[in-house]
Structure 1
Amino acid sequence: MAAVTSVSLSAICWTYGERKVNTSSAIYLGSNFDGVRFRSSISCNCVGVRASSSSSRLVVRCMSTASDLPTVSETKFKFLRAYKRPIPSVYNTVLQELIVQQHLMRYKRSYRYDPVFALGFVTVYDQLMEGYPSDEDRDAIFQAYIKALNEEPEQYRIDAQKLEEWAQSQTASSLVEFPSREGEVEGILKDIAERARSKESFSYSRFFAVGLFRLLELANATEPTVLEKLCAALNINKRSVDRDLDVYRNLLSKLVQAKELLKEYVDREKKKREERAESQAANEAIKKCLGEYQYVKN
């Protein structure tokens, strides 16, 4: 199968408890061809290194004030336990990487759920899982994924829909004028702006950037100046948003290519199976005719 050009994401750095985690990854979409690739390395600052008195081994302790938080492995295990059916590799590889990244976001000390983040994740998930063989399974995977992070999948969907409906009724000017207006979504955006200004209980992420992009898209506010004004109103660094949206657009392009190749592969395999079935049916028909001929002859 033809290879899909890889896309390299910039390293993402999170602070998790007392550990600094640097991540960029190396994953592939599909098992039979090169797909979207993230380069990965994970490191943490460890303290408490000592030598054992009874042996030459070194004992290394990673100190954390958040020792009661679940590990990445525990989050992934919860997901796999909740959804036990096999997931095609073109989807599963990216899902596994996303759940690792979102775990690190979720358990940052500054993390606080907000609907724009939810809208961004729902947008990424729906585009990633577009074309999945079963709508029922796609929803079950979403449920298992969000619950593995100890959050509510229904809240993600409800808030994402609420923001989408609001954005569809906005214009480029009204979208950025939310601070001077009253309403439920306006209140949500004001709360985000306040938290972002104080840098408390707010953690910017790529999902948040995608959520902003989705609001602009639905409001048909495509001018670059609108994004600049919206970022300013929300006290968000526009340069970070621009960078993350470039990565997001590039990733979507590679996902489309990967899915097209997968569809071609599935179609070819289906055609081969049908041809084999037709050939087998023809052989069985010939054998049956020969058997009847022998019976009549005798």
Structure 2
Amino acid sequence: MTAITSLSFSAVNQSSSERNTFVSSLASRNLSFEGFRLRSVFSCHYVGVKASNSTSRTAIHCMSTSTDVPPTVSETKSNFLKAYRRPIPSIYNTVLQELIVQQHLMRYKKTYLYDPVFGLGLVTVYDQLMEGYPSDEDREAIFQAYIKALKEDPEQYRIDAKKLEEWARAQTHSSLVDFSSKEGEIEGILKGIAERAGSGNFSYSRFFAVGLFRLLELSNASEPTVLEKLCSALNINKRSVDRDLDVYRGLLSKLVQAKELLKEYVDREKKKQEERAESQKANEIVAKCLGDPQVVGQ
């Protein structure tokens, strides 16, 4: 179990006893993010994309042109720290470190295959985990460093996620499921996934499950039967998707609880700082008055 064990907000000063009390309260809530395990099913060097021969089916392939030994987990984490040198509040850093380790294990397996639904899932997970981060600019800089540490293109992730989101918003529950009878870029991507999954050449992951969930969410297709039909059309095991989405929802719920505790803590410490500043200012005014003869004479 990975528990929140420290906080690193430079703007907040607190005594060791106060810090220990708060840390203990977080740890006692059993805020474990390790349950969101990403299956180690993908990996290779991401060097580009290739369209399939069919004009209606587009698949993105990740191909390796090098026999170099893949980097270790510690090297990937080191690349991330070199790319983003600013401190990250530990409530976010704990989750990021867990995710980067698990994605590294996927990324550097020989069967790694990137697809836009997977990309959408990763972007969705990242954006929801980092929601409420103190700086929007830093949040995006962290994303850039995260993906580049895995030797992939963060812009590709963002572009693919945006395309799928725009497409899903224009769908209904029936058109979403009936992608195989239509032509288009996204339809081609989904057809390619269905074809690979049907032939046993598709590596499923939890990010892919989250990507599917996001498509359903944006198309307002929340009925359980729609997910079942979509999984069937894609030749994906729905029981695996259900299980992974339950883990994902649990992760978000725990993160919300942790953020609420953190917000209460930060607000309390800011209030204490303001009270101390006001008290110090009053003491300085009194000291100045007592030390100034003209003020005393008045």
Q: Bin the TM-score by the shorter chain.
A: 0.7 to 0.9
After superposition, the Cα gap between the structure-2 partners of 1:38 and 1:67, relative to the gap in structure 1 and judged at 3 Å, is farther
Does the CA-based 8 Å contact 2:290-2:296 persist in structure 1?
A: no
After superposition, the Cα gap between the structure-2 partners of 1:186 and 1:134, relative to the gap in structure 1 and judged at 3 Å, is same
Percent identity for Structure 1 against Structure 2: 77
In structure 1, distance between residues paired with 2:123 and 2:78: 22
In structure 1, distance between residues paired with 2:194 and 2:4: 36
AA matched with 2:292: E
AA matched with 2:3: Y
Aligned counterpart, 2:269:
269
3-state secondary structure, aligned to 1:92:
helix
In structure 2, distance between residues paired with 1:93 and 1:252: 14
3-state secondary structure, aligned to 1:150:
coil
AA matched with 1:37: S
AA matched with 1:272: K
After superposition, give the CA deviation of every residue in 1:94-118 in whole Å (9 maximum; x if it has no partner): 0000000111111222211111011
Q: Which has the higher contact order (CA 8 A, sep 6+)?
A: 2
Aligned counterpart, 1:255:
255
Residue 36 (structure 1) shift: 2.3
In structure 1, distance between residues paired with 2:189 and 2:4: 36
Aligned counterpart, 1:155:
156
In structure 1, distance between residues paired with 2:182 and 2:244: 29
Give the length in aligned residue pairs: 248
Aligned counterpart, 2:81:
80
AA matched with 2:250: N
Does the CA-based 8 Å contact 1:29-1:91 persist in structure 2?
A: no
Does the CA-based 8 Å contact 1:29-1:94 persist in structure 2?
A: no
Aligned counterpart, 1:89:
90
AA matched with 1:256: V
Q: Which runs of 4+ in 1 moved over 4 A?
A: 38-41, 294-297
How large is the Cα RMSD of the aligned pairs? 1.9
Matches within 5 A, 1:53-202: 68-200=69-201, 202=202
Aligned counterpart, 1:4:
none
Q: Which has the higher strand share?
A: 1
Normalising by structure 1, we get a TM-score of 0.80
AA matched with 2:211: G
Residue 198 (structure 1) shift: 2.0
Residue 39 (structure 1) shift: 5.2
- Given the alignment, which residue of 24, 32, 37 partners 2:32? 37
In structure 1, distance between residues paired with 2:192 and 2:5: 41
AA matched with 2:102: Q
In structure 1, distance between residues paired with 2:111 and 2:146: 21
AA matched with 1:167: A
Q: Which runs of 5+ in 1 are unaligned?
A: 1-25, 42-65
After superposition, give the CA deviation of every residue in 1:188-234 in whole Å (9 maximum; x if it has no partner): 1111111222222x321111100000000000001111101111111
In structure 1, distance between residues paired with 2:100 and 2:197: 24
After superposition, the Cα gap between the structure-2 partners of 1:163 and 1:39, relative to the gap in structure 1 and judged at 3 Å, is closer
